[in-house]
Amino acid sequence: MTELLDLVGIFVFALTGALMGVRKRLDVVGMAVLAEMTALGGGIVRDLILNVRPAAFQSLGYVLVPVVATAIVFFWHPHVARGMPVILVLDAAGLGLFSAVGTQKALEYGLSPLHAALLGTVTGVGGGMLRDMLVGEIPTLLYDRQFYAVPALLGAGVMAALSSYGLHGWPATLAAAVLAFGLRLGAMRRKWRAPLARGTGE
């Protein structure tokens, strides 16, 4: 079940990466690179920090799913773009899931709750950060005006806190993921923004 949820999250993240490739007028190879980076980048960075073989290189599905997403966007990107509201909702769900699961994995490898939460956040937003860097945009992690990294950080923090109180397994993961998901949806609906430095304006 966990791997299935991972693949769904990977697929949605890959769609957003491939769509970025369309917006930047990249060819199909560039689209595929962005899709793979967006979908797998955060998990790969996490696993490299933990000094374990990245999960993306242990299952063929992890690599093929972004390829499928790229093909869908390549042939039907106008239709996919029209479905962006749904994709953004699924993206928020993937953000929450990856942040929580990434935190749990970091805890299992002996990291402190604080460091595990930070690494869980990287799991959630790292792929998007790599995507943005590849296309020359300021990464969301550094310019969180869309309130993307903060929900991931809070969800990861709750996951770490629950674990420190002895609460493990899918109930804790679900609670943390739902929190991050709800905050991200609230930010999209209510246009919440992280504040700029005083005096710099909007």
How does pLDDT run across 104-151, given as a tens digit for each residue?
A: 999 999 999 999 999 999 999 999 889 989 999 888 667 666 688 899
How does pLDDT run across 48-107, given as a tens digit for each residue?
A: 999 999 988 888 989 999 999 999 999 998 988 888 888 888 888 889 999 999 999 999
Res 155 pLDDT > 60: yes
- E strand or H helix at 41: helix 28-49
Confidence (pTM): 0.88
Confidence of residue 198 (pLDDT cuts 50, 70, 90): confident
CA dihedral 136, 84, 121, 138 (to 10 degrees): 20
CA atoms within 13 A on the CB side of 27: 1
Alpha carbons 121 and 92: distance in angstroms, whole number: 13
State the pLDDT at residue 113.
95
